[in-house]
A = this chain, B = another copy of it.
């Protein structure tokens, strides 16, 4: 009955229950699992693993593409399975375990994981668990809503468990473009020269004898958790659109701008949403995750093509996307994250990268990950792949958080994910700071004037002025560089009552 989902008859006897498949995972193993930004993760087998660990405890190293949906990271954490986890996560329960030091989390650039595996600097992968729409006659695996690291996990793993998701339409076939770089020292240029380039196979090529188990599931991807645009995110989008108009006027960009990348989350999604009402046209995306805004831009006639590694939509957009899949399919390609985030391609295409900052400082250093320099939020994700190598690197944030108790612009960030060298433009709802070609003292002036919330402006100016009087290329007062953070920890707010 599943002949169109398992097209290689000899594999039919590999079909088993998730519980049976989960038994292939043994204590101490390294497991590579599909899933990127809550899209296309294996679902039935990891949940069966969590069940089993309740009675038969075991621990593994779990690698994925990026974050998982369906509370899988929570369930695996609660079951005590995760000894080590990489390269990204967004789950509150796992996050707490990481911050307690119970799960060793390796926060990695998303393009790098498979490079490290391939060169045996990490690994080896014992078992890969990959969600699929179908298995081809030749054993090739057709992914679902993400490619992520699935291809290299499956190619390098000793055994592969395929989880066929019957809720995903067969029409996904053809959406993917799986290209694996050739081996060093004979590695050839990656032939992607435009967002549209198709350079690989529409499936993951593996040796079919490695497929050790096939299970079925019907569980959907978790919907995107993005919140709808609001007045602040609309203001951020507005500043950015005004800036792009200026760049077009100066002749530095055309009306199609440059290939756009946008990080996950509410703000980056809202910024792209804002382009619907902009004058720009024939836009292209070369991004990691395609979000609601991608579909909206297609439908508004603004977007010509979108390349990503996954597609993560809210409930309404999921329905629209799936019911019109044929009409979107020739305008979308999903690639391995190594290719969507590849330094080579990012520099070649000249991408405009738009990512979200947790906080940034008056000199333009960005913290994307650590609250008070200590507590992990999610991880750096792909933002470092893009920021270092992009044509233009933009970071967005609301100027304050927690009802103004936290300023997102601080004298010195408590953790640096993106340094001054990699940050071209900063935007809050207050305004936009164009830092290109500026020295640190000049950057401080522009950032404080344009981006800081008025409640914090005087304090920021005061810090910068007092530091500058003592001298230095990047003037700081080390004894009080973190005073705002310490006040927040002590009193609940960064605001100075005096």
Provide the bound-state CA to CA distance between A344 and B388, in Å. 12
Are B471 and A414 neighbours in the complex by a CB distance under 8 Å? no
Provide the bound-state CA to CA distance between A50 and B388, in Å. 36
Are A375 and B472 neighbours in the complex by a CB distance under 8 Å? yes
Asked if A116 is at the interface of the complex by the 8 Å CB criterion, the answer is yes
Instruction: For chain A, residues 398 to 442, give those with C-beta under 8 angstroms from any C-beta of chain B.
Output: 412, 414-417, 419-422, 424, 436-439, 441-442
Cβ-defined partner of A344 (8 Å) among B343, B365, B482: B343
Asked if A468 is at the interface of the complex by the 8 Å CB criterion, the answer is yes
Once A121-B436, A122-B436, A185-B194 are accepted as A-B contacts, the answer to whether A415 and B474 lie under 8 Å apart by CB is yes
Provide the bound-state CA to CA distance between A474 and B485, in Å. 16
Asked if A173 is at the interface of the complex by the 8 Å CB criterion, the answer is no
Asked if A104 is at the interface of the complex by the 8 Å CB criterion, the answer is yes
Are B482 and A376 neighbours in the complex by a CB distance under 8 Å? no
Once A99-B473, A374-B472 are accepted as A-B contacts, the answer to whether A350 and B185 lie under 8 Å apart by CB is yes
Are B436 and A116 neighbours in the complex by a CB distance under 8 Å? yes
Cβ-defined partner of A184 (8 Å) among B350, B375, B414: B350
Q: Mark A237-261, 1 if CB is under 8 A from B, else 0.
A: 0000000000000111000001000
Asked if A498 is at the interface of the complex by the 8 Å CB criterion, the answer is no
Which of A105-113, A136-144, A219-227, A271-279 forms contacts with chain B?
A105-113
Contact size range, A: 35 or more
Provide the bound-state CA to CA distance between A472 and B99, in Å. 4
Cβ-defined partner of A419 (8 Å) among B105, B349, B414, B419: B419
Are B472 and A376 neighbours in the complex by a CB distance under 8 Å? yes
Once A414-B476, A485-B478 are accepted as A-B contacts, the answer to whether A84 and B193 lie under 8 Å apart by CB is no
Are B416 and A473 neighbours in the complex by a CB distance under 8 Å? no
Are B105 and A421 neighbours in the complex by a CB distance under 8 Å? no
Min CB–CB distance A274 → chain B (angstroms): 23
Are B420 and A107 neighbours in the complex by a CB distance under 8 Å? yes
Provide the bound-state CA to CA distance between A194 and B119, in Å. 18
Collect the chain B residues with CB atoms within 8 Å of residue A373's CB.
412, 474, 476, 478, 481
Q: Mark A336-370, 1 if CB is under 8 A from B, else 0.
A: 00000011101111100000000000000100001
Collect the chain B residues with CB atoms within 8 Å of residue A422's CB.
109, 384
Are A439 and B193 neighbours in the complex by a CB distance under 8 Å? no
Provide the bound-state CA to CA distance between A439 and B107, in Å. 8
Residue of A116, A120, A476, A485 with highest tally of chain B CB at under 10 A: A476
Are B105 and A350 neighbours in the complex by a CB distance under 8 Å? no
Mostly, the A contact residues are loop
Min CB–CB distance A105 → chain B (angstroms): 5
Min CB–CB distance A303 → chain B (angstroms): 16
Collect the chain B residues with CB atoms within 8 Å of residue A476's CB.
372-374, 414
Cβ-defined partner of A474 (8 Å) among B120, B350, B374, B441: B374
Provide the bound-state CA to CA distance between A229 and B422, in Å. 34
Provide the bound-state CA to CA distance between A347 and B439, in Å. 29
Closest B-chain residue to A441, C-beta based?
Answer: B101
Collect the chain B residues with CB atoms within 8 Å of residue A80's CB.
none
Are B99 and A471 neighbours in the complex by a CB distance under 8 Å? yes
Cβ-defined partner of A106 (8 Å) among B101, B191, B438: B438
Are A109 and B421 neighbours in the complex by a CB distance under 8 Å? yes
Once A193-B187, A375-B472 are accepted as A-B contacts, the answer to whether A343 and B350 lie under 8 Å apart by CB is no
Asked if A475 is at the interface of the complex by the 8 Å CB criterion, the answer is yes
Collect the chain B residues with CB atoms within 8 Å of residue A416's CB.
365, 416, 419
A370-B473, A375-B473 given; 13 more Cβ-contact pairs under 8 Å: A100-B471, A105-B473, A122-B437, A187-B350, A188-B193, A189-B189, A189-B191, A342-B347, A372-B476, A374-B475, A416-B416, A416-B419, A478-B486
Q: Name 21 interchain pairs, CB-CB below 8 A, sorted by A.
A: A104-B441, A107-B420, A109-B422, A115-B347, A116-B436, A119-B350, A121-B437, A185-B258, A187-B348, A189-B190, A343-B388, A370-B472, A372-B472, A372-B476, A374-B470, A388-B388, A389-B389, A414-B478, A417-B419, A478-B482, A478-B489
